[in-house]
Every structure is written in structure tokens, then in C-alpha cells.
Amino acid sequence: MSEHEHAETTATTDESTSEQLVELAKRRGYFFQSSGAYGGVGGFYTFGPQGASLKGNVEDAWRDRFAVAEGNMEIDAPTIMPEPVFEASGHLDGFDDMLVECPECGESHRADHVVEDNTEYEDAESLPIPEVEEVIAEHQLVCPSCGAGLAGQAVEAFNLMFATNIGPGDSQPGYLRPETAQGIFVEFPRLKEYARNQLPFGVTQIGRAYRNEISPRRSIIRTREFTQAELEYFVDPEEDEPELEAVEDVAVTLYPASEQNKDDGDEIETTIGDAVEEGIIASPWVAYFLGVAKPWYDAIGVDMDRFRFRQHLSGERAHYASDCWDAESEIDGNWIEMAGFAYRGDYDLSKHAEHSGDRFTVFKQYDEPKTVERATVDPDMSYLGPEFGGDAQAVVAELESLAGRDRSAFDGDTVAIELDGETHELPVEKTGFSVEEQTEAGEHIVPHVVEPSFGVDRLVYTVLHHAYREDEVDGEERTYLDLEPEVAPTFVGVFPLQNDAELEAQANEVVADLRDAGLSITYDDSGNIGRRYRRQDEVGTPFCVTVDYETIEDEETTVTVRERDTTDQKRLPVEGLAETLAEIREGDLEFDEL
Ligand code: GAP
């Protein structure tokens, strides 16, 4: 049992927590603004030794759950992609934020944020630009940096993609990907082969995404370079169904669009199964992944009392999504989006098929071959050639397409086709039109996509924020991070009690033993023992092991093991220590059972 006095622990949730966390993150090596030696640049952060390790552990936990446990494939695609990819995906035309520039200080701001922060509008992003300009003028809104009036300033659509040139010169424009998803979609024709053309299948990717945010803010919550962990799950919309039974009892807090639109709307406490049955979540696939995600967030340390799923309002949805639910965490009284679960339908694959000419379909075999009537054409080229010259092949393509979609167009003596906006009449007898019976083994379908898309940086921030604790130990104030062992950067800190060669040698043996067992260990022999404990508490190390004189003098070699949260200490034999701690890390054993 601990001989330490322990005052009540508080998990503070006021604004100061973020300030203290950001300060702790810098001091202890979690994260800090990049390129500090050159004054820093907004929206770019470096994860220090602790942060890189925590982030890596979060990514590993995500990979275990969303790739390995679900049987999905993982890929690693380039972060720069050529312009046609983003013409097809819609990002070139539609991936914009609203920008307003201050006429006095020249600072750029997100116009929708200026509106939301200073008026009753909650979803200004969904308003058309002229309306945002009107709201700014009507409410006499001012520049958040210098206070100058913004009324009358033009609001512009600002594309968030970072542009670059591929190779020397500017012959091939490219962009840094704004979402990892496109790296998966463009490789679909090959990926479907690896999945043996069998739906459903999923492809995951963990990697960097880039957005030239107008006003990056709140440290790593809104940055210009960040990490996403995305799953693109390809399904046959008519036949495939998720294994909803596996998650139907998962309890969730939902905030559907219908409730957000009411004056007295509220969050709903329900289960995944009931939410699907009552039509609150329209897509069982989206519901399935919400059900997988909730316990996963819990396991890695997101506080479930500060967690909910919120449905996007119709004007808020991205250009590709027909429905979307965000996983949100509460930070300092505000909700932040940690992940989006979108139903993207066939939008992406259809667009890439249209723009690339490649096959973004899967062949779906019928249970029994079907006999179907097919309308075909076999045009008389000795007529089309002289009549249409270089456009003859385009006419053939148009006739084939028309026969497929509207065979009644060939009912009369002539058939009308559209070519470059002009209508042409052709004699039907020259088109070789016929309807034949064909036996078909299956059809080519465009799969639909369900997309759980996680932002790793925001998740790391939430995990740290929700783990932040202040208490008093032996009359002294203490700050510690109550991190889950699965994600904590270091699992055990090992110390020799004093600078003594014998103690140090023994402590190094303990370090080697624990590292052999696959545990992440830090060795610290600087400063007094109390300060070493505080240092490990502050970075969230769950256990500390101290080697003292009893260790080397007693017959049985024992050490003191101290638990971070309670500061309880126990004397344990070195023999078997690695196995005991490994069991605790796996969640198979509790410290107070020892
Ligand atoms: N492929 C879908 C997609 O990219 P998104 O909602 O735009 O969807 C997914 O992004 C997640 O990426 C968000 O939920 C958020 O966690 C993270 N994210 C987006 N923009 C970010 C930014 N500027 N800084 C940090 N994280 C960001």
C-alpha cells in the first residue's frame, strides 16, 4: 500500500487546460511549432520524442482494429498526385473555404468562422458567399486580429490544395493530396484484383494530408499538414450487409441533424441496433463502423462522457457525401471533429472512370446466367465516313450509347443524335440497329464506398487533453497524464535510487530484461527520486521501478514498483517482473491484484 497522501484528482475542462497542455507538450517533447529557429510557420507542428511515440502507438492501435481485425488491406500511396486526379475527384473545383481579408491589417480569416463566432449562425459554411457577405455587413463584424470593420469586404472561395510542379518546368501540375482517400480510389482497378474481384472489401491507409488552411488554429487541431487514417470500404449496395449483430448493443450518444434543426433539440442516448431500426442512422454500413469505433476510442483513452457522434447538416456535407456522421470530442467546452464516417456512394469511382477511361467496376456474377435483350448497332461506315468525316467514330459511340439507354429512339425511319451540341438525323437502316437475346453470366457494377476517416493529430490532442490531471501528493501539487498503457509513449521508467555503480548496474539489468519482453522503457538517473517520478508522471508513464539498496543486499532481488495514478508502491521480485508488467499492459492483470 502507498504511504503517500493523495488529494482528490481533478480533470479540468476549462480553457486553461489547453494552455497548460500545450505548454506541457512543448516542455516534455509531445509537440511544438516547427521551424522555431526561423520564427515558426503557422499550421506546421513537429511531434517530439514523446509525441511521435504516442502518435505511433495510436496509429498501431488503429491499424490493429480497422485493418487487421477487420481483414482489410493496407496501402501506402504517394502524397503528390497529378492534376487530373483532382479534376476528377472534384477537389480542384469544390474544395474551397470562404476567405475574407482585413482591409487594415491584411490578415486573412475564414469568413464562415468570423460569422459563427460572432452571430447566432451555427453552420455558416453552408451559406452561399453573397449571404455571408450580407451577414458580415448586417452585423458589422470586425477583423478578429485588429478590430477593423469587415463590412463591404469581398468574400472569396479559396482552394485549400497546395499546388506544385512535377518535374522541371511547369508542364505537369500536381497537388499535395488533401485526403489520403484519393490514393486508394485511383488504384481501385488494381486493388480489386488483389481482392479477387470480390465485394465487399476494404483498403486502409495511414499517411499525411495537406490543406492550406486559411487560419490554422488551436495547435495541432487545425494544421496545414496532418495525418489521416482512412478506410475505404467498397460494397455492393444491393447485396452486401454489415455484421450489425457484432455492434448492435454498443451504446452511443447521437446528435442527428433532425435534433440540431430543432430549437429544443438534444442528443439521443441509444444503441447502434436501435438507431438503425428507428432510421436515425440511414446506412447500416455507417452504423456498423460507428459501432466499431466507439469502443476503440474508449480503449485508447477518449473520455466517453465527452464523446458523441453528430450527423452533418445537409449544407455541411462534402461534395462527395450523401450522409456523414462525425465522431466529436469535447475540449474546453467546445466540440471538435475527430473523424468523419461518410457514405460516398459511387461518386469517386464513377468520376475516376469517367475521367481516366479505366475500369472502376467489379464483375458481379449472377447466381444463374440470365437471358436478356440487348439493343446493339452496327453502323454502315461507308455511309458515316463521307457524311461525318473525322467525327464518324464519335457518331458510332453516340449511337451505341443511345441504343443502350433508349431503344425507342430507333423506332422511326430516322434517329436523332447529339454531337457537340448539334442534333443530327440519320436513317435508322444505316445504323445496323437490332435487338438480340443474349445470355449473360453477370454484370459490371460500380461499388459504393463507406468511409471512416480519422484525423490522427486531433485524436492525439484529445487523448492528451482527456488524460490531463492535477492532484496533490504529500502536500505537493502534481500534474500527470492518465494515459492508457496501450498508447503511453513509455510504459516503465527505471531508476537507480542513487548514483552508485552497483545500483546502476542492477538497474541496467532490469532495463534489459524489460526491453527483452517488448516493453518500452526509459532509464533515468538524474535528479532526486521525487523529481524523476514527477517527470514520468507528466509524460504519462504508467509505472516506475526503483532499484535501491534492498535490491542488492537482500537474498531475493526485489524492486519498488510505483503506479502512476495512485502513486501506490509495491515491493516485487525482479524474477518474473517483466512477465507481470507485460500482463498488466495487456489488461490481463491489475496492479492492485499484486
Ligand atoms: N477523406 C475524407 C476526409 O478527408 P475530412 O472530414 O475532411 O474527411 C477527416 O477529414 C479528418 O481529418 C477530420 O475528421 C479531422 O480529424 C482531420 N482533419 C481535417 N482537416 C484537418 C486539419 N486542417 N488539421 C488537422 N486535422 C484535420
* pLDDT for the residue numbered 309: 98
Selection from 463, 407, 364 nearest residue 61 by Cα: 463
Selection from 480, 588, 463 nearest residue 59 by Cα: 463
* pLDDT for the residue numbered 11: 55
Residue 235 · residue 349 · CB < 8 Å:
no
Residue 178's φ and ψ, nearest 5 degrees, are -85, -10
Q: What is the 3-state secondary structure (H, E, C) of 536-564?
A: HHHHCCCEEEEECHHHHHCCCCEEEEEEC
CA 454–ligand 1 middle distance (angstroms): 7
Cβ 183 under 6 angstroms from ligand 1: no
Selection from 323, 296, 290, 295 nearest residue 309 by Cα: 290
CA 324–ligand 1 middle distance (angstroms): 13
Cβ 230 under 6 angstroms from ligand 1: yes
pLDDT in tens, 238-257: 999 999 999 999 999 999 99
Residue 263 CA to chain centroid, in angstroms?
31
CA 21–ligand 1 middle distance (angstroms): 22
Q: Which atom of ligand 1 is nearest to the CA of 456?
A: 16
User: Which pairing describes strands 448-455 and 334-345: parallel, antiparallel, or unpaired?
Assistant: antiparallel
pTM of the model: 0.89
Give the residue, by CA position, lying nearest to ligand 1 atom 2: 453
CA-to-CA distance for 165 and 540, rounded, in angstroms? 43
Q: Which atom of ligand 1 is nearest to the CA of 342?
A: 2
Cβ 179 under 6 angstroms from ligand 1: yes
* pLDDT for the residue numbered 1: 37
Cβ 222 under 6 angstroms from ligand 1: yes
CA 178–ligand 1 middle distance (angstroms): 9
Question: Which residues does the chain have with pLDDT short of 50?
Answer: 1-2
CA 337–ligand 1 middle distance (angstroms): 8
For the CA atoms of 495, 500, 505, 506, what is the dihedral angle to 10 degrees? -60
Burial of 547 (0-12, 13-18, 19+ CB in 10 A): buried
Selection from 315, 320, 317 nearest residue 86 by Cα: 320
CA-to-CA distance for 39 and 275, rounded, in angstroms? 50
Give the residue, by CA position, lying nearest to ligand 1 atom 6: 340
